[in-house]
Amino acid sequence: MTSVRLVRKTVSTSAAYVLLLALSFTILLPLGWMLTVALKPDFAPVFTQPTQWFPTGDWHWENFGRALTDPSRPFLRYTMNTLVIVALNIVGTIISCSLVGYAFARLRFRGREFLFGILIVTLLIPWHVLLIPQFLMYFKLGWYGTILPLVVPAFFGNAFYIFLIRQYIRTLPRELELAATVDGCNHFQVFWHIILPLIRPVLAVCVVFSFLSSWNDLLGPLIYLLRNEDYTVAIGMANMVSRANPKLNLLMAANLIMMIPAIVLYFVAQDKLVGGIASVGIKG
């Protein structure tokens, strides 16, 4: 009896591992192929039979440097441009969303619950409707062709991050805040000295998501940026594909460079990222 069960369990466990390994290879092999191509010399055959999934003979690491400094598409420039946008988005998001999150979590004012309801409703609005009127507004303001439309809104809060921060603050015990109030702290001092240090974990989640969404964004830069020297990595990559006969090794090297920050962030903050994505789908 028990031996039959043991055999069965062994078989199903092995089957699970075989499946898991097969699926993992499906994820990793395309990335391996990309690295292989990125390390090849110029004009070397890329579409070989059979496919070379992992680099074997060629190790042209200088391709990454060449991809970054290629004069026709200055990738280093694109990277710097993107990092400026990313940094401003993170700073703006953290400042505005933590202040607003604190107000909704702790400070009692008239209409608070009503406004919080509106905040939830704004999460539901498909942003397609906002594209055209926002563009016309920024155009009238003279912001077309600058990074302002891509960074200024971050300083005015984001409903989803405010929601996350507000939920997090509500789980914190109030004793410290009450003690600080008794000691004569005003609301800003309570926020600065008590709340801000305590909500670092949820702020980290916001930083990670804010980084990824502005680093990966294509539509926004595509609408608002006009000059090649202002382009972000996403536009640079997207426009390179359509060009006839680009050097595939440099294209793949550039593509890897675009993926690396996200991959590094993923390995540093995997639990926060996965937890953040999961929290969107389940209650709480």
Q: Which residues ranging from 234 to 263 are in contact with other proteins (CB under 8 A)?
A: 234, 237-238, 240-242, 248, 251-252, 255, 258-259, 262-263
**Residue range at the interface with other proteins (CB under 8 A); choices 54-62, 67-75, 83-91, 127-135:** 127-135
CB of 224 to other proteins, least distance (A): 10
Residues that contact other proteins, how many (by CB under 8 A): 106
The token duo for 115 is 């406004």
The residue within the footprint of other proteins, chosen from 6, 16, 18, 87 (CB under 8 A), is 16
5 is an interface residue for other proteins by CB under 8 A: no
Comparing CB distances to other proteins, the nearer of 1 and 282 is: 282
**Near other proteins in 32-61, by CB under 8 A:** 33-34, 37, 46-47, 49-51, 53
Q: Choose, by CB under 8 A, the member of 87, 131, 179, 226 that binds other proteins.
A: 131
Q: Which stretch binds other proteins (CB under 8 A): 62-70, 72-80, 198-206, 267-275?
A: 267-275
Between vectors from CA 107 to CA 105 and to CA 112, what angle results, nearest 5°?
Answer: 75
- Contact segment (CB under 8 A) with other proteins among 10-18, 62-70, 73-81, 198-206 equals 10-18
* Cβ nearer to other proteins, comparing 2 with 242: 242
Site for other proteins in 181-210 (CB under 8 A): 186-188, 191
User: Is residue 163 part of the contact set for other proteins (CB under 8 A)?
Assistant: yes
Residue 139 sits in the site that holds other proteins (CB under 8 A): yes
Question: Would you say 31 or 198 has its CB closer to other proteins?
Answer: 31
Q: What is the 3-state secondary structure (H, E, C) of the chain?
A: CHHHHHHHHHHHHHHHHHHHHHHHHHHHHHHHHHHHHHCCCCCCCCCCCCCCCCCCCCCCCHHHHHHHHCCCCCHHHHHHHHHHHHHHHHHHHHHHHHHHHHHHHHCCCCCHHHHHHHHHHHHHCCCHHHHHHHHHHHHHCCCCCCCHHHHHHHHHCCHHHHHHHHHHHHCCCCHHHHHHHHCCCCHHHHHHHHHHHHCHHHHHHHHHHHHHHHHHCCHHHHHHCCCHHHCCHHHHHHHHHHCCCCCHHHHHHHHHHHHHHHHHHHHHCHHHHHHHHHHHHCCC
User: Which window, 29-37, 56-64, 66-74, 196-204, contacts other proteins (CB under 8 A)?
Assistant: 29-37
Q: Please choose, out of 59-67, 72-80, 91-99, 198-206, the segment that lies near other proteins by the rule CB under 8 A.
A: 91-99
Residue of the chain from 80, 117, 179, 229 that contacts other proteins (CB under 8 A): 117
Residues in contact with 234: Cβ distance below 8 Å, sequence separation at least 6, in sequence order: 82, 215, 216, 217, 218, 221, 258
Residue in 6, 7, 18, 121 binding other proteins, rule: CB under 8 A: 121
Q: Token pair 């903050």 is at which residue?
A: 269
